[in-house]
Amino acid sequence: MNSNSKMVPDVRVDIEFADDEQVEKLPFVHLDENYPSQLPTKPSQEMHWTVHIEGGPKRVNHAAVVVGHTIYSFGGYCTDENYSIQRPIDVHILQPDTYRWKVQTFEPGPLVPFQRYGHTCVAYNRYIYLWGGRNDQTACRVLYRFDTKTLAWSKPEVSGSVPGARDGHSAVIIRHKMYIFGGYEEEIGLFSQDVYALDLNTLEWTFVPAAGTPPFFRDFHTATVYLDRYMLIFGGRGDQHGPFHTRSEKYCNVLVYFDCERQEWVRPKTMGSIPVGRRSHSAFMHGGFLYVGFGYNGLTDEHFNDFYRYDPETGEWKALIPFGNGPKPRRRQGCVTLENRVYFFGGTSPMPTDNSAAEDTDMNEETNLIDHDDMFILDMDPSLKTLCLLKTIEAKLDTSGLPLDLKHEIAWMMMPNKISPMSSG
């Protein structure tokens, strides 16, 4: 990525078409009369990649959340590690002010989840709820709770219609409930298009009967919350044969949202530069807009490092190019937002290969990939101070006359992390 702000041409591929009665001409506006104070603000046109640090946890398909002013990353895998045996999950904790990671390990026990990938984590009050995921032997349907104050695990007793064990699903918090959608169900060997909700006050699971046409069966999509009511689903990997995993992959780029109050799926009419269908990408909300980037399309064997913004009020997609040098094309990275900053870390990218080697490789094989231990920060609205620090670093200016706190901040922006390979792979 560079500072060129030229928009890329419109892209309209792999699109699923809904019946006319299922398409809303003015998405969200007609539904949001009760939320006048929460209409989006205009996004900043000065998005900058500000920090790039190596040496963090080398993880792929991990799950991360923010509680307070701290970032927690759970599990994931690294190519060199053994996931055929069960061992306690590890937790990597980032202090955003210093960009320093530390690892929290646990002794084996019945209350500690096993190391896994393809799981989800959501934050509710001071607790983090982990659900689903798998290792190389099995998937899981047990709910675990992590206390960010005591750094201890528990296994709350749940009731109701517990979803089947799966990985590659999504999970979001809307009010006091955790909603999960999709994923690949281990026991029955099928992709899902179901919605389940867990009431975090009563710990009761319910299957959510939904009106409208749900998104296609899929895994490794993204779900993002808008106005504490709507769950926006984008991307993911499906199959031409519906729920069956026949390796006839399908990549949808139709945005669909679930209205949790009406319990209804809606497909808004969209326009503009629509992203190519993809899986294992990142999505987040900021300033009332949905942002989507990175990911992988198995039909074209292409990894992405592009960036798009979607306006829920107009249905318009726009392609964006932030200032600065961002991550190389990748998938399965962690992504969390904290105030005006978005933190991307880990993931995997293709190794550079010559054309002859590429021709001999099945485009669906996950070979010749390199796992990352880096972290990039995207500042959605950088302050003058941040821009000055960036210029100081880029120009290698003399910092001897700066106040001590600024010297420390510059050093932290440049200093690699040192996470033990034994802890992070």
Position 5 pLDDT exceeds 70: no
Q: What is the mean pLDDT of residues 50-63?
A: 97
Task: Specify the pLDDT at position 354.
Answer: 60
pLDDT at 42: 45
Q: What is the pLDDT of residue 13?
A: 35
pLDDT for residue 41: 44
Q: How confident is the model at residue 422 (pLDDT cuts 50, 70, 90)?
A: very low
Q: How do beta strands 316-319 and 271-272 pair?
A: parallel
Q: What is the 3-state secondary structure (H, E, C) of the chain?
A: CCCCCCCCCCCCCCCCCCCHHHEECCCCHHHCCCCHHHCCCCCCCCCEEEEEECCCCCCECCEEEEECCEEEEECCECCCCCCCCCCECCEEEEECCCCEEEEECCCCCCCCCECCECCEEEEECCEEEEECCECCCCECCCCEEEECCCCEEECCCCEECCCCCEECCEEEEECCEEEEECCEECCCCEEECCEEEEECCCCEEEECCCECCCCCCEECCEEEEECCCEEEEECCEEECCCCECCCCEEECCCCEEEECCCCEEEEECCEECCCCCCECCEEEEECCEEEEECCEECCCCEEECCEEEEECCCCEEEECCCECCCCCCEECCEEEEECCEEEEECCEEECCCCHHHHHCCCCCCCCCEEECCCEEEEECCCCHHHHHHHHHHHCCCCCCCCCHHHHHHHHHHHCCCCCCHHHHC
Most confident of 22-26, 77-81, 198-202: 198-202
pLDDT tens string 329-384: 999 999 999 999 999 999 999 998 765 444 444 444 556 899 999 999 999 999 99
The answer to whether residues 116 and 86 touch, using CB atoms and an 8 Å cutoff, is: no
With beta carbons less than 8 A apart as the criterion, state whether 133 and 139 touch.
yes
- Banded model confidence at residue 141, pLDDT cuts 50, 70, 90: very high
Q: Which fold has domain 20-33+43-424?
A: Neuraminidase (2.120.10)
Beta bridge partners of 94: 71, 101
Please indicate whether residue 17 or residue 217 has the higher confidence score (pLDDT).
Answer: 217
pLDDT digit string (tens) for 310-324? 999 999 999 999 999
- Could you give the percent of the chain with pLDDT greater than 70? 85
For position 382, what pLDDT does the model report? 96
Q: What is the model's pLDDT at position 35?
A: 35
Least confident of 120-129, 178-187, 338-347, 358-367: 358-367
* Mean of all residue pLDDT scores within the chain: 88
Band (pLDDT 50/70/90 cuts) for residue 82 is confident
What pLDDT score was predicted for residue 358?
Answer: 45
Residue among 260, 268, 264, 298 at smallest CA distance from 281: 298
| Torsion angle (degrees, nearest 10) of CA 295, 299, 300, 305 | -10
Supply the pLDDT for residue 31.
39
Which tokens go with 51? 């920090």
- Spatial separation of the C-alpha atoms in residues 112 and 145, rounded to whole Å: 9
Among 183-192, 237-246, 411-420, where is mean pLDDT lowest?
Answer: 411-420
The b/e string for 354-367 (b: 16+ C-beta within 10 A; e otherwise) is eeeeeeeeeeeeee
Per-residue model confidence (pLDDT) at position 3: 36
Q: How confident is the model at residue 4 (pLDDT cuts 50, 70, 90)?
A: very low
CA-CA distance, 342 to 224, in Å (whole number)? 14
Q: 30-56, pLDDT tens digit by residue? A: 333 333 333 334 444 689 999 999 999
Number of other residues whose CB lies within 10 A of the CB of residue 40: 18
253 contacts 237 by C-beta, under 8 angstroms = no
- Choice between 15 and 128, residue whose per-residue pLDDT is larger: 128
What residue type is 89 in one-letter code? I
**What's the pLDDT score for residue 366?**
56
Average confidence (pLDDT) over 4-16: 34
User: How is the chain split into domains, by residue range?
Assistant: 20-33+43-424
Is pLDDT at 297 greater than 50 in this prediction? yes
Cβ atoms 410, 399 nearer than 8 A: yes
Dihedrals φ, ψ of 189, to 5°?
65, 40
**221 vs 247, more confident:** 221
